[in-house]
Homo-oligomer: A and B are copies of this chain.
Amino acid sequence: MATFGLIEYQDASPEVRAIYDDIMATRKTDWINNFWKAIAHDPATLKRTWDDIKQIMGPGALDPLTKELLYVAVSVTNNCQYCIASHTASAKNKGMTDAMFKELQAVIGMANETNKLVSGYQVEIDERFKTS
């Protein structure tokens, strides 16, 4: 159904292959998921996106698993099915347990509920939050 087909490794330009190689080396895996093969039609977007992901999702003040949970939270809120499936799998690979998955979903659901109660009741921001 994709507008473009997927660009497989053997059909990729050297420029794209170099990025595929870096993705596999960084992730210590031997395959490339469809997202990268789809955006590889635009090598500039492929490169920019991978460079950004590598910079942002690596270790830092937040650990990689926490970042993956955040990715799932955004993807669920946006109802992006591919993103939910791929980042839930990534989170598991990085150590998300079943118990963590369940709590993650509970928080996401709850946050979406209270976000709407706030809107519906037209709650104004407390002064204390403005100066925090």
Report if A107-B67 is in contact (Cβ < 8 Å); known contacts: A73-B74, A76-B120: yes
Interface positions of A from 48 to 83, Cβ below 8 Å from B: 48-49, 52-53, 55-57, 60-62, 66-67, 69-83
The interface size of chain A toward B, counting residues with CB under 8 Å, comes to: 82
Taking a contact as CB atoms closer than 8 A, the residue among B77, B114, B132 that contacts A53 in the complex is: B114
For this chain, the copies found in one complex come to 6
Q: How far is the CA of A113 from the CA of B83 in the complex (A)?
A: 11
**Contact call A119/B79, Cβ cutoff below 8 A:** yes
List residues of A (72-127) whose CB comes within 8 Å of B's CBs.
72-89, 92, 97-126
Known: A62-B104, A70-B70, A103-B62. A34 touches B113 (CB 8 A): no
